[in-house]
């Protein structure tokens, strides 16, 4: 059965383009990095990424998320200038090739976010929740774009040493309550929340969050879910990230049933299929 949240329509002002979310949508991941945890998502050839984005859009993606820095545990940190040099040529060509597409920039650096949005991106995806670069919120407010607020702790290099919670669901929920209020004070109202699966959380804590995901509907914000091929799947099943598509689809389906509105994925076609089947199930 559908609840009132399932039927709720959200609108996001993406730099003048109004994105209306009546049913769940898909965000495709394009990693312009040499060290993303999922090898098949890494793009080094400057023509491959255009083909990858085109296929994602053909498969039904609404948003393409572009990242120039791996945020997997223990990833090597790169500075903002290196990230800019890595990501901006890709963004420029993608926006030129697909001018009607919504692009988000996956970065925790305000300078990278500013340059990407000025070039044509229209959403900021900040895995640090504004904690790494204190200028990020002011930048998002000035640019007047939706801001993806993700829960994490520390840096990717040390986040897995910061998993001490008394009650992970309550503490993540309280984080959002306080941060959303702070963002409103900064005049950022189009906030998308992401509980941050895999970020400063153990496998057991990830599954606890997923099990209680419906609680986050109380925040009345668009809920983005990033479960795609994460270690909570392949470590639990004792397989590899390459083998974890089926597990991803299962967990995405559970997330959809608990209120997810954006699925951030490597595999767009399968995520669209999960949305379609979940929608048919809810009709009956």
Provide the annotated active-site residues. 230, 264
Q: Which pLDDT band holds residue 167 (cuts at 50, 70, 90)?
A: very high
Handedness of CA 90, 60, 259, 39 (dihedral sign): negative
CATH number, domain with residue 247 = 3.20.20.20
d(CA 10, CA 37): 32
Position 46 scores a pLDDT of: 55
Position 32 scores a pLDDT of: 85
d(CA 212, CA 58): 33
d(CA 261, CA 176): 17
pLDDT in tens, 240-276: 999 999 999 999 999 999 999 999 999 999 999 999 9
Position 47 scores a pLDDT of: 57
Position 1 scores a pLDDT of: 43
pLDDT in tens, 22-78: 999 999 999 887 644 445 544 555 558 889 999 999 999 999 999 988 777 767 789
Share of the chain above pLDDT 70, in %: 92
Q: What is the mean pLDDT of residues 194-214?
A: 97
More confident residue, 262 or 284: 262
Q: What angle do CA 121, 224, 116 make, to 5 degrees?
A: 15
Q: What pTM value is reported for the model?
A: 0.93
Q: What is the mean pLDDT of residues 175-183?
A: 98
- Sequential DSSP letters for the chain: ---HHHH--EEEEETTEEEEESS-EEEEEEE--S--SSGGGB--STTHHHHHHHHHHHHT-SEEEEESS--STTPPP--HHHHHHHHHHHHHHHHHH-TTSEEEEE-S-HHHHHHHHHHT--EEEETTTTSS-TTHHHHHHHHT--EEEE---S-TTTGGG----SSHHHHHHHHHHHHHHHHHHTT---EEEE--TTSS--HHHHHHHHHTGGGGGGG-SEEEE--TT-HHHHHHHT--GGG-HHHHHHHHHHHHHTT--EEEES-HHHHHHHHHHHHHHHH-
174 is written with which tokens?
């309280």
Position 37 scores a pLDDT of: 44
More confident residue, 239 or 42: 239
Which of 144, 149, 175 lies closest to 162, judged by CA? 175
Q: Is the pLDDT of residue 284 over 50?
A: yes
Out of 157-171, 223-237, 241-255, 258-272, which region has the weakest mean confidence (pLDDT)?
157-171
Q: What is the mean pLDDT of residues 164-172?
A: 97
Full domain range(s) for residue 24: 4-283
218 is written with which tokens?
């109380």
Cβ neighbours of residue 18 closer than 8 Å, sequence gap 6 or more = 11, 12
Q: What is the mean pLDDT of residues 213-237?
A: 97
Q: Is the pLDDT of residue 154 over 90?
A: no
**Do the strands 17-21 and 10-14 form a parallel or antiparallel pair, or are they unpaired?**
antiparallel
Position 41 scores a pLDDT of: 46
More confident residue, 17 or 216: 216
What domain count does the chain have?
A: 1
CA 274, chain centre distance (Å): 18
């Amino acid at each position: 059965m559908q609840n009132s949240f399932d039927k709720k329509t959200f609108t996001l002002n993406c730099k003048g383009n109004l994105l209306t979310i009546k049913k769940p949508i898909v965000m495709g991941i394009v990693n312009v990095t040499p060290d993303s945890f999922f090898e098949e998502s890494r793009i080094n050839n400057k023509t491959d990424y255009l083909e990858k984005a085109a296929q994602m859009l053909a498969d039904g993606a609404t948003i393409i998320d572009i990242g120039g820095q791996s945020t997997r545990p223990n990833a090597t940190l790169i500075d903002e200038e290196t990230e800019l040099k890595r990501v901006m040529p890709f963004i420029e060509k993608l926006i030129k090739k697909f001018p009607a597409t919504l692009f988000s920039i996956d970065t925790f650096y305000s300078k990278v976010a500013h340059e990407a949005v000025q070039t044509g991106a229209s959403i900021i995806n900040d895995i640090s929740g504004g904690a790494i670069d204190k200028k990020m919120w002011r930048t998002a407010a000035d640019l007047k774009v939706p801001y993806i607020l993700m829960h994490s702790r520390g840096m990717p290099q040390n986040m897995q040493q910061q998993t001490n919670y008394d009650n992970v669901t309550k503490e993540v929920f309280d984080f959002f309550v306080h941060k959303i209020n702070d963002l409103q004070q900064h005049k950022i109202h189009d906030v998308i929340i992401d509980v941050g699966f895999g970020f400063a959380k153990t496998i057991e804590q990830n599954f606890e969050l997923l099990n209680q995901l419906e609680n986050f509907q109380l925040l009345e914000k668009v809920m983005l879910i990033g479960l795609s091929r994460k270690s909570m799947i392949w470590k639990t099943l004792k397989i590899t990230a390459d083998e974890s598509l089926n597990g991803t689809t299962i967990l995405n389906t559970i997330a959809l049933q608990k209120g997810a509105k954006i699925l951030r994925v490597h595999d767009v076609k399968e995520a669209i299929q999960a949305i379609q089947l979940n929608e048919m199930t809810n009709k009956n």
